[in-house]
Amino acid sequence: MDKEMNKYRADFPILAQTVNDEDLVYLDNAATSQKPQTVIDAIVNYYRNDNANVHRGVHTLAERATAQFEAVRQKVARFINAPTSEEIIYTKGTTEALNWVARSYGERFVKAGDEIVISYAEHHSNLVPWQELAKRVGATLKYLDLTADGAVDLAKAEATITAKTAIVAVNQASNVLGVANPLAQLAQLAHQNGAILVVDGAQGAPHMVTDVQKMGADFYAFSGHKLLAPTGIGILWGKGELLAQMAPLEFGGEMIDWVELTQSSYKKAPLKFEGGTQNIEGVIGLGAALDYLEQVGMDKIAAYEQELVAYVLPKLQAIPGLKLYGPKDPKKHTGVISFNLDQIHPHDVATALDMEGIAIRAGHHCAQPLMRYLDVAATARASFYFYNTKQDADRLVEALLLTKEFFGNGTI
């Protein structure tokens, strides 16, 4: 289906450029995705025609801006199959959303002696907030073991998630290992023990059909910039009954119901969590991104990324001295592929590939505990999206072979 999907590449103007005199191959999509022209146009159109603050004015511009702002909330609810748009909260990204859950829900409902369970494969954004919560309330942080592929080991999870567990927090898909987690089963384990499931969807929402009700999550967070939208906009979804019990974390305009000299009351969710002027352009851009993804089809995106991985993974496995992390079976793999090449430092690999016009990521990927779990300091990471091609995959393999030859010949 590469011919069908490759037509979308022309919608992304940034991909038409050259880098170091080579056609750009952008394989850093796990860090941030590129933006189609329709998203760029939507942001420009808002500033050109509808720029006004939302919820605060009765003039025409304000009403147009507000209508667009709230329409996106409904689009998000459809995108993740949330029961109602009233459970959709705008944040600046996954990091802020997870911090809000840790602070507003966690500090009220987690107590001394409780346990917070996460996996070794979590991004720092789904790890450090729980560390801090555990310190503040006297809870214990426990880690879920991983299978050989890097997913949460369900057999061992049954012993880790107990009646003491208050929160289970895991990723939908790893930003390093390129493997999806068995969320429905983890949700069942958590709920059987009276705990809630918090899902970091940053690497899931852009790449696969997402249904928060089927996965059994209680909270779900994702970032717009990883799914074609601008930076600085994200989503926190939470079950309505949980949001109703949570206190707002920012106080000021728009989130209040009434204010007296010594006390105030607050609006219901989602507005009680959205104090101050929001990232309106980001919301508008997110709406345009969701429209675009709906046009392409999330099922097609997932299938095509599987096709790309099935194409490139054997080629990478055939490179002598290249070590892959995560599933060896393409059917179990997302578009994120982490690796190391011989004794060459990942930063040197990334620099060498950049000279060939290929953008990848190198480092610990905000997952230092996972690096220690894997017994490495860092990895290189190539991450694909639906606008990538098999030619991009071939360029990656060719550049890695050149890099290996270059460093192996002692020419550094």
pLDDT of residue 412: 38
In the chain, what are the domains? 2-30+297-408 (3.90.1150.10), 40-294 (3.40.640.10)
H helix runs in 31-168, sequence order: 37-45, 60-80, 94-100, 106-109, 128-137, 154-160
Determine the Cα–Cα distance for residues 278 and 298; give it in Å rounded to an integer: 28
pLDDT of residue 253: 86
> Active-site residues: which are they?
366
Do 224 and 282 touch, CB atoms closer than 8 A? yes
* H helix or E strand, kind and range, residue 115: strand 115-119
Local structure of 136: helix, strand or coil = helix
pLDDT of residue 392: 98
* CB within 8 Å of 319: residues ≥ 6 apart: 341, 397, 400, 401, 404
DSSP state letters, 4-52: HHHGGGGG-GGGG-EETTEE-EE-BTTT-----HHHHHHHHHIIIII--
- CB-based burial label for 154 (10 Å; 0-12, 13-18, 19+): middle
Low-confidence ranges of the chain (pLDDT < 50): 410-412
pLDDT in tens, 317-338: 999 999 999 999 999 999 999 9
Determine the Cα–Cα distance for residues 193 and 162; give it in Å rounded to an integer: 6
* H helix or E strand, kind and range, residue 278: none
Helices and strands (H, E) in the chain, number of each type? 15, 17
Q: Which of 246, 216, 233 is CA-nearest to residue 108?
A: 246
The residue with tokens 């011989």 is 342
pLDDT of residue 31: 98
DSSP state letters, 331-381: GG--SEEEEEETTB-HHHHHHHHHHTTEE-EEE-TT-HHHHHHHT-S-EEE
Q: What Cα–Cα distance (Å) separates residue 219 from each residue in 63, 213, 303, 334, 376?
A: 30, 10, 26, 22, 32
pLDDT in tens, 34-58: 999 999 999 999 999 999 999 989 9
Chain centre to alpha carbon of residue 57: 34
pLDDT of residue 1: 74
Q: Which of 278, 348, 338 is CA-nearest to residue 313?
A: 338
Average model confidence (pLDDT) for the chain? 96
- Residue 97: CB atoms within 10 Å: 30
Buried residues in 17-30 as b, exposed as e (16+ CB within 10 A): eeeeeeebbbbbbb
Determine the Cα–Cα distance for residues 63 and 54; give it in Å rounded to an integer: 7
Q: Which residues pair with 170 in a beta bridge?
A: 199
pLDDT of residue 124: 98
Local structure of 325: helix, strand or coil = strand
Chain centre to alpha carbon of residue 223: 5
